[in-house]
């Protein structure tokens, strides 16, 4: 019996996202699980407190298209059948929770930067996803590339 049948892999599409591939693929293969890959784009209005004196629709659409292209490339690197690729605009943690519920996922995989000090006190995406998740969450430690 498979422990996990539906996996949601939530990625930020940074260079560190590639570090999630090997472990996610191994879990998916061992469980013959379906995989949905998700990237959430926070609306530009969030960055400016919602008070933007101009229409950002064109810029937001360009960000969406760029993310879809990067997500497609990322999904190919996974080298495992991807049931669905999703680019959604919204609040990251709530969109991850919503997608996991919508797809009936029993595992969410996210990257964790293992922050310390003030960043730890302020929380992280992985920590926020864990709290309120409708299923198990695997936070895989990712490391910034050496410069």
How far is residue 95 CA from its own chain's centroid?
Answer: 9
pTM: 0.86
pLDDT tens for each residue of the chain, 147 residues long: 679 999 999 999 988 899 999 999 999 999 999 999 999 998 876 555 556 566 667 888 888 999 999 999 999 999 999 999 999 999 999 999 999 999 999 999 999 876 544 444 444 777 888 888 999 999 998 887 766
Write down the pLDDT at residue 119: 45
Write down the pLDDT at residue 82: 97
Domain boundaries, the chain: 6-141
What is each CA distance from 32 to 77, 78, 91, in whole angstroms?
A: 18, 14, 30
Domain 6-141 has CATH 3.40.50.620: yes
């Amino acid at each position: 019996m498979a422990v996990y049948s539906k996996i949601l892999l939530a990625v930020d599409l940074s260079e560190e996202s590639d570090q999630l591939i090997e472990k996610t693929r191994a879990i998916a293969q061992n469980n013959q699980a379906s995989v949905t890959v998700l990237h959430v784009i926070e609306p530009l209005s969030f960055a400016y407190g919602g008070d933007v004196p101009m229409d950002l629709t064109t810029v937001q659409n360009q960000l969406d298209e760029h993310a879809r292209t990067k997500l497609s490339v990322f999904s190919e690197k996974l080298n495992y059948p991807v049931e669905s690729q999703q680019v959604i605009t919204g609040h990251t943690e709530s969109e991850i929770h919503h997608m996991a519920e919508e797809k009936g996922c029993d595992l969410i995989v996210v990257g964790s930067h293992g922050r310390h000090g003030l960043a730890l006190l302020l929380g992280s995406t992985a920590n926020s996803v864990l709290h309120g998740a409708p299923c198990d969450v695997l936070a895989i430690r990712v490391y910034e590339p050496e410069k």
